A and B are shown apart, each in its own frame.
With several copies, the nearest count.
Chain A
C-alpha cells in the first residue's frame, strides 16, 4: 500500500552493518542491500533458452568431483569441437557456461584441471580475488595479482573463498562501481593508448555508463597467459576486433598449443563478449551489459538493478521492452534470427576447418615435411582462431550480428585456402 511504499522510498536501505574494503562475504553486504543480495544468490538457477542459458544435467558425484549437477557438454553437442581442439585441454571437457554462483566450483572441478597444470592466474576471473590479492601483495593489488599468477592452481585455490562478490564490482563506502581486476586495468590502458589516450586510469576516467559494461569486461574477454610469469594479458594493443587481436598474436608469435592432428601452432579464443559487444549496434548506442543482463526491476516503490545476472531472453520484458516496443515473442524471434544466421555460417566454417585439419593430417601421414605443411598450418591457425572467436562468444552472434558473420566469412576463406595450398604445395598468388 501507499503508506508503506512512501516509507520504503524515503530510506531505501538501512545501514545494518558497516562495510569496509576487507569484507569479502556477500552475505554481510546483503544485510544492507537485501534485494540485491536476493538476486545475486538466484544465479544458481539453470534454465535454457534456444541457444543460451544452461541446462541442469545431473551426475553422480565422485572423489575427484563432488558436483551433483553440471551444465550440458558442448563437446557432446558438437563432436567437431574435439577435432578443432585436439591435443588441448578443451577437447577433454567443455561445457555450456552457467550462472555466477557456480564459477568457482566449475573451474575447480573441470576435467581440464586433470589434463593440464593450470596457474593461479585462472583465479582472476572465477573468484572474489580483491581481498586475497591485496593480502598477498601486502596491500598492493598488482603485486598480489603477480604473486598469485605464479602459484600453482591448487595453492591459489586455498586463498579464495567466494565466486565474484559485491566487493569485486562495488566500492564499499559509496557503492560506486569500480574495476578491481588488473587484467582489465592494463588491457583497457593498452587499448586507449592505441587510440591516442595516454595513461588511462579506468577508475578515474570512465563514466558511470561505461562502468556498467567495464565491470563485466573484467572477465568476459579474450585473454592469454604471457611468459613464464603467467601474467594475465588482454591482447588489445591493436584494437578489439578479431582480426586486430589475431594480428597481435601474429606479431608476438604466441601459440596456445600445437594441434595434435595437424601440428599447427594453434590459438584458443575465449569468451570475447566485451570485444564483440563493442562492435555491435548496442555497444555503439551506449547500451551497457548491465542494461540487458541486470535490468531495473521494481521492488515496492523502488527500482533496483536485478542482480540475478542471466540471459536477457529469460526476461525480455524488463531487458528489452523499455527500449523496444515489439512484443516479447517478436523480440525473441529477432534475437534468434540473428543467432540462426550466425550459427548457420558457423557450421559452414566448422566443416571447412575440420576438412582442412583432415587434409593436413593425411598429408603428414603421407610423408609431407614440416616445410611443405607450413603454409597450410598457418592458414589453419588463422581460420581456427577466427572461427573460435565467434564460437566462444557466448551470445551466438547477438552482440554484433554482422561482425560475427564477417569474421566467419574470413575464417572460411582461410580454411579453404589451406586446402588449396596443400594441394599446390606452394603459395597461392595474392592471398598471403
Chain B
C-alpha cells in the first residue's frame, strides 16, 4: 500500500472537515464581526475574554484596539494576517487543541512589535539612532501595555 497516498487522503478529509467546522464556527461565533476592528469581535470567543478584560484595564484600552497591535499596517497585510489567524483560531477553538495559557506565536509577535513603532516612531526615533536592529524588542520592557496583568 502506498502510505503517503493515504496520508494525503486523510489530510484532504481533515482539511475539508476543518474548513466545514471552521465555517460553522465562523458563522455561529459571529465570524463576520471578525472582519471589523471592534474588539468585541475578538471577545466573541470566551477564550479571548481574559485578554479583552486585561486590554480594557491596560494603558492602551482607550487608545488602541486589538487590531492596532495584532495586524500590520495596510489593507492587504491586515486582511491576510486576519485570514490566517482567523482560520487557525476557529480551528483551534473548535478542536480544543490549544494550551490553556495561550502563547503568542513568533510571527504575531513581530506584527505587534511593528505596531509599536507604527504609533511611536517619533518617541523612539532617538533610541533607534544607534541601530534599527529589529530584534530590539519594545515589549521586553513594556510587556503589559496591551494587557495589564
What residues make up the interface of A, taking CB atoms closer than 8 Å to B? 1-3, 5-6, 9-10, 12-13, 170, 174-177, 207-209, 286-287, 291, 295-298, 301-305, 317-318, 321-323, 325
Measured between C-beta atoms, what is the minimum distance from A165 to chain B in Å? 16
The answer, among B99, B126, B143, for a CB contact under 8 Å with A304, is: B126
Known A2-B25, A9-B122, A286-B140; judge A303-B127 contact (CB<8 A).
Answer: yes
Q: How far is the CA of A1 from the CA of B46 in the complex (A)?
A: 13
B122 touches A176 (CB 8 A): no
Known A175-B129, A322-B141; judge A2-B101 contact (CB<8 A).
Answer: no
The answer, among A1, A3, A208, A317, for a CB contact under 8 Å with B135, is: A208
Residues of A within 8 A of B99 (CB): 317-318, 321
Measured between C-beta atoms, what is the minimum distance from B135 to chain A in Å? 6
B127 touches A304 (CB 8 A): yes
20 sampled A-B residue pairs with Cβ under 8 A: A2-B93, A3-B28, A10-B122, A174-B130, A174-B131, A176-B131, A209-B136, A297-B100, A301-B46, A302-B126, A303-B127, A304-B126, A305-B127, A317-B100, A318-B99, A321-B99, A322-B101, A323-B143, A323-B149, A325-B103
Measured between C-beta atoms, what is the minimum distance from A330 to chain B in Å? 12
Measured between C-beta atoms, what is the minimum distance from A34 to chain B in Å? 12
Q: Which chain A residue has the least Cβ–Cβ distance from B25?
A: A2
Q: Which of B1-56 contact A (CB under 8 A)?
A: 25, 28-29, 46-47
New A-B pairs, 5, CB < 8 Å, besides A2-B28, A318-B99: A2-B29, A6-B122, A286-B140, A295-B100, A296-B100
Measured between C-beta atoms, what is the minimum distance from B99 to chain A in Å? 5
Q: Which chain B residue has the least Cβ–Cβ distance from A317?
A: B99
Residues of B within 8 A of A13 (CB): 126, 129
> Per-position contact with A for B84-96: 1 when CB-CB < 8 Å, else 0?
0000000001100
Check if B118 is an interface residue, CB within 8 A of chain A.
no
B123 touches A325 (CB 8 A): no
The answer, among B131, B136, B143, for a CB contact under 8 Å with A325, is: B143
Check if B107 is an interface residue, CB within 8 A of chain A.
no
Residues of A within 8 A of B144 (CB): 325
Q: Which chain A residue has the least Cβ–Cβ distance from B28?
A: A2
The answer, among A1, A6, A176, A321, for a CB contact under 8 Å with B130, is: A176
Check if B64 is an interface residue, CB within 8 A of chain A.
no
Q: How far is the CA of A302 from the CA of B47 in the complex (A)?
A: 10
B130 touches A322 (CB 8 A): no
Q: Which chain B residue has the least Cβ–Cβ distance from A321?
A: B101
Check if B117 is an interface residue, CB within 8 A of chain A.
no
Measured between C-beta atoms, what is the minimum distance from A126 to chain B in Å? 25
Q: Which chain B residue has the least Cβ–Cβ distance from A176?
A: B130
- List of 8 A-B pairs having minimum Cβ-Cβ separation, nearest first: A9-B122, A321-B101, A208-B133, A322-B141, A302-B126, A12-B126, A317-B99, A318-B100
B100 touches A298 (CB 8 A): yes
Known A296-B100, A317-B99, A323-B149; judge A12-B130 contact (CB<8 A).
Answer: no
Residues of B within 8 A of A286 (CB): 140
Q: Which chain B residue has the least Cβ–Cβ distance from A327?
A: B103
Measured between C-beta atoms, what is the minimum distance from A266 to chain B in Å? 42
* Interface secondary structure of A, over-half rule: mixed
Measured between C-beta atoms, what is the minimum distance from B93 to chain A in Å? 8
**Which of A297, A302, A318: most chain B Cβ within 10 A?**
A302
Check if B142 is an interface residue, CB within 8 A of chain A.
yes
A301 touches B130 (CB 8 A): no
The answer, among A5, A207, A318, for a CB contact under 8 Å with B101, is: A318
B103 touches A175 (CB 8 A): no
Q: How far is the CA of A2 from the CA of B94 in the complex (A)?
A: 7
Residues of B within 8 A of A1 (CB): 94
The answer, among A208, A209, A303, for a CB contact under 8 Å with B126, is: A303
Check if B124 is an interface residue, CB within 8 A of chain A.
yes
B123 touches A322 (CB 8 A): no
Residues of B within 8 A of A208 (CB): 130-131, 133, 135-136
Q: Which chain B residue has the least Cβ–Cβ distance from A286?
A: B140
The answer, among B46, B141, B143, for a CB contact under 8 Å with A5, is: B46
Residues of B within 8 A of A6 (CB): 122
B127 touches A325 (CB 8 A): no
Measured between C-beta atoms, what is the minimum distance from B49 to chain A in Å? 10
Residues of B within 8 A of A10 (CB): 122
A301 touches B143 (CB 8 A): no
Q: Which of B105-149 contact A (CB under 8 A)?
A: 122-127, 129-131, 133, 135-136, 140-144, 149
Q: How far is the CA of A274 from the CA of B25 in the complex (A)?
A: 46
Q: How far is the CA of A177 from the CA of B131 in the complex (A)?
A: 9
Q: How far is the CA of A152 from the CA of B63 in the complex (A)?
A: 63
Known A207-B135, A322-B142; judge A303-B130 contact (CB<8 A).
Answer: no
Known A2-B29, A208-B135, A321-B103; judge A9-B46 contact (CB<8 A).
Answer: yes
Q: Which chain B residue has the least Cβ–Cβ distance from A207?
A: B135
B125 touches A12 (CB 8 A): yes
Q: How far is the CA of A305 from the CA of B29 in the complex (A)?
A: 27
Residues of B within 8 A of A325 (CB): 103, 143-144, 149
